[in-house]
Structure 1
Amino acid sequence: MWIERARELYECAIYAGDDTVPSTADRELDAVEAELSLARGRILHLRFLTGEEADPRELPLFERATRLFRELGDRRGEGESSFWEGCYHQLVNGDLDTALPLFERAAELAAQAGDQATLAEVLRHQGIAAHRTGRLDEAREKLTESSRLRREFGLPAGVASNQVGLIRIATAQGRHDEARALADEARALADSCGATRIAAHVEEARATIPT
């Protein structure tokens, strides 16, 4: 569709003499490039999560998307790509010092744009960071809020995924009955939407709860 749109703009300029076309075309193509860069980066990140070596193209794709979205004034897009930059630094590089400010920026932009999906992702990854550094109360707060947002826009697999972390936090804090209840709900949610990988993670977390 966007290729045909670019052709139409070209013809409009050539035949009708519309001198505003180049600027319009640049913006529209930049928007397409930003979305494509973000999508390609996400797929490379998925490959990393499923066991492949980190691809050196991943971070530049996210950075390119962020720059283009910023230039376009697209806060939703900039927030999403900023989150993915942070995700790269957190999970691939193990660099929280770089990741956390990117998450903060992503949360700010997502809130401004009303992008609950990105905000829920940011909260999840902030919770993961807090959990791994021993800040259990903060981790619980972030994961709980992420789950609330995911429930609102209908992502049961995402809620179940967050609850894996909440099960482990509750277990670490000695709230074993709560951990078991979370495990039961998380398993039901995962089963309801065919999230078999999440269901397996739930059972791994359940196995850590003292009997």
Structure 2
Amino acid sequence: MDERVRWAGELYERAIFNGDAAGLATADRELDAAEADLVLARGKVLHGRFLENRVEDPRELELFERALALYNSVDDERGQALAFFWIGCFHQVVRDDTEPAVSALTLSRELATKTGDDLTLSYALRHLGVAAHSAGNLDQARALLEESTAIRRTLGFTAGVAANLVGLIYLADGDDVGALADEAAELAASVGAATISAQIEAARRSRL
């Protein structure tokens, strides 16, 4: 059982058996925080299904927006950064709707920077880089992807580094394409990231 759910149950028992109702507000807060994590996780599962079948489930955005509201209610800015990322990712990947995507991703970037959440920051930067690439702002796209990649290297997020290198292959000068593709392939293979490996080879073929 989630520790926050267990603690809320204990606070309930204190109220019922001991007459100490002061903790019920804390119980509400703990349950809101736990619910935020749960609905965000459910939204991510639906996003994974979209990537598999390319059929939008309207519950996905509803779940991410519910998570954001709950994180707001408990003043969890780290959670807000994560929820804003997924809202932005939904608009970008599922609906191909750039304006709300960039708006949410920018807020995610700001909050992740503020709270020191480097993993979420790396995701926000990556997807802002994708948006810049789509808009034809290639130098900006490269800078954002390189910043995200540097963070991911520091975190030891190998699959994430390989995924970013796919984007950088498409942005690279001709002489750099092969080296980037070779590094990306090695990294992806080292962690069994088969989906990324296929993307790397597609990028290599398109550029060489």
TM-score band, normalised by shorter chain = over 0.9
What displacement does 1:5 show?
Answer: 2.9
2:165 to 149, 163, 171: 163
Q: In structure 2, give the amino acid aligned to 1:47.
A: R
What runs of 5+ residues in structure 1 fail to find an aligned partner? none
Return the alpha-carbon distance in structure 2 between the equivalents of residues 83 and 97 of structure 1.
14
**Matching residue's letter, 1:99:** A
Among 102, 105, 125, the residue aligned to 1:103: 105
Instruction: Name the count of aligned residue pairs.
Output: 206
Alignment of 1:1-211 (within 5 A): 1-2=1-2, 3-170=5-172, 175-210=173-208
Q: Deviations over 1:78-101 (max 9, x none)?
A: 000011001111111111111111
The TM-score with structure 2 as length reference comes to: 0.96
Instruction: Provide the TM-score with structure 1 as the length reference.
Output: 0.94
Aligned residues of 2:78 and 2:111 also touching (Cα < 8 A): yes
In structure 2, C-alpha distance between the alignment counterparts of 1:103 and 1:111, rounded to whole Å: 12
CA distance in 1, matches of 2:54, 2:166: 24
Q: Which runs of 5+ in 2 are unaligned?
A: none
Amino acid at match of 1:163: L
| Aligned residue type for 2:126 | R
Q: Distance in 2 between matches of 1:115 and 1:70?
A: 17
> What SS does structure 1 have at the residue aligned with 2:53?
coil
Using the TM superposition, name which of 158-167 and 2-11 deviates more.
2-11
Structure 1 or 2: more helix by fraction: 2
The Cα RMSD (Å) is: 1.1
The SS at the match of 1:54 is coil
Distance 2:146 2:133 in 1: 13
State percent identity of aligned pairs.
51
8 Å contact from structure 2 (residues 8, 26) kept in 1: no
| Residue 11 (structure 1) shift | 1.1
Amino acid at match of 2:187: L
Asked whether the equivalents of residues 162 and 188 of structure 2 are also in contact (C-alpha less than 8 Å), the reply is: yes
Deviates more, 1:97-106 or 1:5-14: 5-14
Q: Separation in 2 of the partners of 1:150 and 1:115? A: 12
